[in-house]
Amino acid sequence: MRSAEGARSSRADQADQRRAELLDAARRVVLERGLASTRVADIAKATNVSGGLIHYHFATKDDLITAMLRATSETEVRRLREIIAGPGTAVQRLDRVLRYYIPSSRSDQSWILWLDAWALGVREPHVREILLELEGGWIEILAEVISEGVQKGEFFCDDPMGAAERLDGMLDGLVVRYTLHSGAMSRKRLLEHARIAATHEVGIPRSAFPA
């Protein structure tokens, strides 16, 4: 008999839960120590688990890292989709996407993971594929929001896909700068850049965005 709640359920569920726990620990450890100096043992310690168990659930270290990146990427795109599914005008929805893009505070270092992943992706096709999907998700969603704005007559843009690529690229580049040299650019200035570039791309006045 299962204990009241389905929390302690079948073994398959237990294994899934452990897998998820390991992926989560892997993400935290990699964020903290960097991919290059993350050891399997570190992830084991962060989970209070033996080193051998890691290799029971994931054949190799690469498997673990790749699975962690894929899981993180998928979560990110899912949240992004939720964000644009909400209500509001096209400008409001676009602004929400821009704000979601930018780390919410200096201590939010989630982008570090993608810096590591870019470097890794150069050599590892599997990682590159994950990154391509993640970037594709961002661009697609930006293009959707812009296209909808154009249809509603809020925006003016004859190439939403191109505009989305340019916006996404600029945000990538600026967020790297913000993450690496937080002193060189404030979050406020970064958001202002994003909004100005957006006004250029969708043909609306700066005043259409919040101050």
Residues that bind DNA (CB under 7 A): 10-12, 14-15, 18, 37-41, 48-53, 55-57, 59-62
Question: Closest distance between DNA and the C-beta of residue 123, in Å?
Answer: 14
Nearer to a copy of itself, 91 or 198 (CB): 198
Residue 53 binding target from DNA, a copy of itself, none, CB below 5 to 8 Å by type:
DNA
Cβ closest to DNA, residue 37 vs residue 104: 37
166: partner contacted, choices DNA, a copy of itself, none (Cβ within 5-8 A by kind): a copy of itself
CA-to-CA distance for 54 and 48, rounded, in angstroms? Answer: 11
Closest separation in Å from C-beta 66 to DNA: 12
Q: Cβ 70 to DNA, closest distance in Å?
A: 17
The CB-of-24 to DNA minimum distance in angstroms stands at 14
d(Cα 167, Cα 181) in Å, to the nearest integer?
Answer: 21
